[in-house]
Chains A and B, each alone.
Chain A
């Protein structure tokens, strides 16, 4: 598994995929946070990273599928999946190696944004006047969202040989998983099950964690979400055996 993971990460860096996606991620968050007047912290006037934390899930929605779309789709298209599958590793090890590879890229995209926190911390009217607990919670939330979207992306990549289809499908699934359930729960006739429906979506749990309270229920939600899509991926890969 470790060898697949290592190869995955190095191929992200050799093919520029990692630099481009992380670069775009940092450029866009930078623009929204410091330049664009509608969302800029300077215009807003409060020492808060609210903008960052509300925009990143939507950025992830496009960037993570771009990272994961090739991982299994290309292997299947080029036939190299046959080499992988006939070497002495299990399907689980293949899925786990691929998955962790993309999670590392997500992590590498998030880490440089710590500098935004530091900046806001230093610039506060009273230095350090930031809700640090909420920031930590939000970062954990973002990491969990990134991991969940990676699981969706790997799954979408496993069911097709076409990278574009994998990309489109995982953007759609990420969107539904993040915002879809909350939106649907607002439909009038679903009033009686509004809470349950919203609870199925990522957004609800992300907001809970963002307040700085890490509830085990939210953590459990994310872990089972990831596990669900990885099991689906493994099942699809095993599908060649039916």
Chain B
């Protein structure tokens, strides 16, 4: 199991952003990480990428504990943070080169070329990041995450703000990458989950409300629409 989360809790003061959730993600499968805004998705992803530590519980990435062995755990993970932060005054290649150096990627020149082709940055590769449109910046963010060819990819809303054509491209890219990696990504678009994901985890107010494969969820809830299931599980006035 590439990602293993057990009773993970993150508290900010009295408030629990993530409350004792457990799930696991396997290699070669794509997991959709869903929940309403403020449910604790980003917090969980930040813990998995070793940006902030949990209050209690355990999180393992490819067998490395994010608390006790963060540097090794970070090596396993490609992470695309929410809002996709980039050094906009850098050139695309300059930025990717910097990331490759940080990760000590072998054959970095070759690898950067590969990744630029993979995410479709070809025509924009000689520009400054500041000159790129949102969709292309998103691709730079994804390129940055996959540059080191990590076995685990964690992406926080990778498709937000993309146009329909770009959506199709990026989803295809995620599907291709998912063949030999573990991917966890969050999104608010249910059609995307239906189109891309194998497994689904839904959290609400920090607690886990659903964790199963997409097919099982459909058959168990006797519904063909994930949107319906999502609303039923996470809306305020329904007791789950």
User: How far, in angstroms, from A138 to B86 measured CA to CA in the complex?
Assistant: 42
What residues on A are CB-neighbors of B217 within 8 Å? none
Q: Say which residue of A14, A80, A81, A88 sits within 8 Å of B71 (CB atoms).
A: A88
A window 81-131: CB within 8 A of B? 81-90
Are B102 and A4 interface neighbours, CB within 8 A? yes
User: How far, in angstroms, from A175 to B179 measured CA to CA in the complex?
Assistant: 59
Are B89 and A79 interface neighbours, CB within 8 A? no
Q: Say which residue of B51, B77, B85 sits within 8 Å of A80 (CB atoms).
A: B85
Are A88 and B103 interface neighbours, CB within 8 A? yes
Q: Does A11 contact B (CB under 8 A)?
A: yes
Given contacts A87-B74, A240-B51, contact A79 B102 (CB under 8 A): no
The distance from the CB of A73 to the nearest CB of chain B, in whole angstroms, is 14
Q: Does B81 contact A (CB under 8 A)?
A: yes
A-B contact count, CB below 8 Å?
A: 60
Given contacts A14-B89, A88-B102, contact A82 B81 (CB under 8 A): yes
Q: Does A241 contact B (CB under 8 A)?
A: yes
Range, interface on chain B: 20 to 34
What residues on A are CB-neighbors of B209 within 8 Å? none
Are A90 and B71 interface neighbours, CB within 8 A? yes
Are A79 and B81 interface neighbours, CB within 8 A? yes
Are A87 and B99 interface neighbours, CB within 8 A? yes
Are A82 and B98 interface neighbours, CB within 8 A? no
Are B85 and A87 interface neighbours, CB within 8 A? no
Are B52 and A241 interface neighbours, CB within 8 A? yes
User: How far, in angstroms, from A33 to B166 measured CA to CA in the complex?
Assistant: 61
Given contacts A3-B101, A4-B102, A11-B89, contact A86 B83 (CB under 8 A): no
Are B51 and A82 interface neighbours, CB within 8 A? yes
What residues on B are CB-neighbors of A15 within 8 Å? 89
What residues on A are CB-neighbors of B102 within 8 Å? 3-4, 84, 87-89
The distance from the CB of A9 to the nearest CB of chain B, in whole angstroms, is 12
Q: Does B50 contact A (CB under 8 A)?
A: yes
Q: Which residue of A lies closest to B80 (CB)?
A: A83
What residues on A are CB-neighbors of B72 within 8 Å? 88
User: How far, in angstroms, from A90 to B75 measured CA to CA in the complex?
Assistant: 12
What residues on B are CB-neighbors of A83 within 8 Å? 79, 81, 85-86, 99, 144
User: How far, in angstroms, from A15 to B89 measured CA to CA in the complex?
Assistant: 8
B window 104-140: CB within 8 A of A? 104
What residues on A are CB-neighbors of B83 within 8 Å? 79
What residues on B are CB-neighbors of A78 within 8 Å? 85, 87-88
Q: Does A186 contact B (CB under 8 A)?
A: no
User: How far, in angstroms, from A78 to B137 measured CA to CA in the complex?
Assistant: 14
Given contacts A79-B81, A85-B51, A90-B71, contact A3 B89 (CB under 8 A): no
Interface positions of B (Cβ within 8 A of A):
46, 49-53, 71-72, 74-75, 77, 79, 81, 83, 85-90, 98-99, 101-104, 144
13 new A-B contacts, CB < 8 A, other than A82-B46, A87-B74, are A11-B87, A11-B89, A78-B87, A79-B81, A80-B85, A82-B85, A86-B79, A86-B81, A87-B99, A88-B74, A88-B102, A90-B71, A240-B52
For this complex, 25 residue pairs linking A to B, each with C-beta atoms less than 8 Å apart, are: A2-B101, A3-B102, A6-B101, A78-B85, A78-B88, A79-B83, A81-B85, A82-B46, A82-B51, A82-B81, A83-B85, A84-B102, A85-B50, A86-B51, A86-B77, A86-B79, A87-B74, A87-B99, A88-B74, A88-B102, A88-B103, A88-B104, A240-B51, A240-B52, A241-B52
Q: 9 shortest A-B CB distances, which residue pairs?
A: A79-B85, A3-B101, A87-B102, A88-B74, A80-B85, A86-B49, A82-B81, A88-B75, A86-B79
